[in-house]
Structure 1
Amino acid sequence: MAVIKIALYQKNLHKRFTLDEIIKVQQSKAQFLLLPEGFPHLFQSVSPIDGAKHEKEYQDHLLEISEKFSGVILGGSHYRKNENGKLVSALPIVQSLVLVDFYEKKTPSTTIDVGVASGSTESIFIMGGLRFGLLLGEDLNNDSIWSEFQKENIEIIFHLDATNPNKSYEEDLSFYESLAKEKNIHLVRVCGPSEGKPARSLYASPSGINWKVGKLEEDKEVFKTLSVNVMRSYLL
């Protein structure tokens, strides 16, 4: 069994990291930093295609964090045109000042991701000595991804998400608790407050909800370092 330190930042999607916040992340000595879907949305873009124009600015901010934090940054998401020229919602993966890879959202939102194509990247990655699965937003409901996770015996999954305001706090907790038990997985979810929308970051495992943002913290920025015990996935 190995203990993985995972830092998650329930960060406002429109606010840059300050130097003090970057130092806080650095001092956590975590192996992973998770940022919410849509971070860093530093520009008020009117559409995904417009947002893609700011790809470099988004990535530069993640590299700025990486100057101090040596772990793996699963850096939220932004719109970009991939190598095939398709507009996708992409999750940049950064480590040691290098943009290592992207995970592309497979299940674009019909209301928010207008004109965005389904991604074609792998959903399983090996970094920081850990084999893990990635889900971005609505990918949580994609059966083909879950089939892949099950086939490959993935033990820990990171879900970078935006909270559905139509679900109550209690409904969200109950759903993730049941899902982690049903799939026998560790599921770490990170969200970001934005424009009045709640954020409900949490960590669910087969034994239940191990940590959650309090009901009075849904509209706040929250930094948390988790210690997750994994058995099958850690590569020595």
Structure 2
Amino acid sequence: MAVIKIAIFQKNLHKRISPEEISKIQQTKAHFLIFPEGYPHFFQSDSPENATKHEKEYQDHLLEISESFSGVILGGSHYRKNEDGNLVCALPILQSLVLVDFYEKKSPSSLKEPGVDPGKTESIFIMGGLRFGLIVGEDLENESIWEEFKKEDIEIVFYLSHTDERRSYEEDLTYFASLAKEKSIHLIRVCGPSEGKPARSLYASPSGINWKVGKIEEDKDVLKTLSVNVMRSYLL
């Protein structure tokens, strides 16, 4: 059994990380740092296609954080044209000032993300001494991804999301506690507040909710370091 230290940053999608926050991130000495879906979103774009113009600025901000943080950075997500020329919602994966890979959202919303194609990347990665699953936004309801996680015996899943406002705060906790128990996984969910929309980051395991953002913190920036016990690890 190994203990994985995971720093999650519930961060306002439209605000840059300050030097003071970078210092706090560095002090966590975590193996992973996870940002919400849609972070960083500093520019006003009228469409995902238009947002691709800012890809380099988004990535440069994450690389700036990587200068001081030696662990794996996951996220948040931004729109880009992939190697096949398809418009996708991509989650950048960085470590040690290197943009290592991308996870592409498999289930983009045709309503919220017009013109965005389903991603073709793998959903399972090995980095930072850990084999883990990644899902973004609507991927949560993609059964083929969950079937793959089960087949490959994935025990920890990072979920970068927006808050589903169809559920209340309490209903959210019940939903994710049940999901983690049903799938026998550790589920780390990271959200970011944006334009009055709440953020409900949490950590659910088969035994229940291990940590959650409080109701009064739904509109706040929250940096939290979690310690997660995993049975199978690599190179730690």
Q: TM-score, normalised by structure 1?
A: 0.99
| 1:109 Cα deviation after fit | 1.3
Cα deviation code 1:31-84 (max 9, x no counterpart): 000000000001011110011110000000000000000000002000000000
1:1-236 matches, cutoff 5 A? 1-232=1-232, 234-236=233-235
What SS is found at the alignment partner of 1:90?
strand
| 1:110 Cα deviation after fit | 2.4
| Paired letter, 1:176 | F
What SS is found at the alignment partner of 2:199?
coil
Aligned length: 235
For the residues of structure 1 that align with 2:45 and 2:165, how far apart are their CA atoms?
22
For the residues of structure 2 that align with 1:197 and 1:39, how far apart are their CA atoms?
14
Cα deviation code 1:207-234 (max 9, x no counterpart): 10000000111111111000000003x1
Say what the alpha-carbon RMSD is for the aligned residues: 0.6
Q: Percent identity?
A: 75
For the residues of structure 2 that align with 1:75 and 1:60, how far apart are their CA atoms?
12
For the residues of structure 1 that align with 2:188 and 2:206, how far apart are their CA atoms?
12
For the residues of structure 2 that align with 1:169 and 1:51, how far apart are their CA atoms?
31
Structure 1: state its 5+ residue gaps. Answer: none
| Paired letter, 1:89 | C
Structure 2: state its 5+ residue gaps. Answer: none
| Paired letter, 1:173 | L
What SS is found at the alignment partner of 1:3?
strand
| 1:111 Cα deviation after fit | 2.0
Q: TM-score, normalised by structure 2?
A: 0.99
What SS is found at the alignment partner of 1:63?
helix
For the residues of structure 1 that align with 2:142 and 2:221, how far apart are their CA atoms?
28
For the residues of structure 1 that align with 2:134 and 2:75, how far apart are their CA atoms?
12
What SS is found at the alignment partner of 1:12?
coil
Moved over 4 A (4+): none
Q: Which moved more, 1:87-96 or 1:104-113?
A: 104-113
